[in-house]
Amino acid sequence: MVLAGLIWRRPTRWVAAAVVLFAAGAAVVDIREISHQATENRGSLAVLAAVIALAHVAVAVGAATLWRRAGSDRSQPRPATG
């Protein structure tokens, strides 16, 4: 929840990178959990882990998109004000 609040209030490249890393790591753990639950013959828990893993992958992709956009915004010259 802290990372969600940070990316909401301050969508910088550093925060987006932290969200990408955290979400990707969580997805890896979730994928491992799918395998574990499948070997234990707990199909409903394996499906739940798969849904959560897909959500973590979606968050990682969204944050990566934000990271790319934040980087490209810096290359654009800003109009002078005043």
pLDDT of 1 reads 76
How many domains is the chain built from?
1
pLDDT of 73 reads 57
Inside any domain, residue 66: yes
Inside any domain, residue 48: yes
The rounded mean pLDDT for the chain is 87
Per the structure, the complete domain to which residue 58 belongs is given by 2-74
Percent of the chain with pLDDT over 90: 65
Question: What CA–CA distances, in Å, run from 72 to 60, 63, 66?
Answer: 18, 14, 10
pLDDT of 32 reads 97
pTM (2 d.p.):
0.77
Inside any domain, residue 9: yes
- Give the model confidence (pLDDT) of 26-48 as tens digits: 999 999 999 999 999 999 999 99
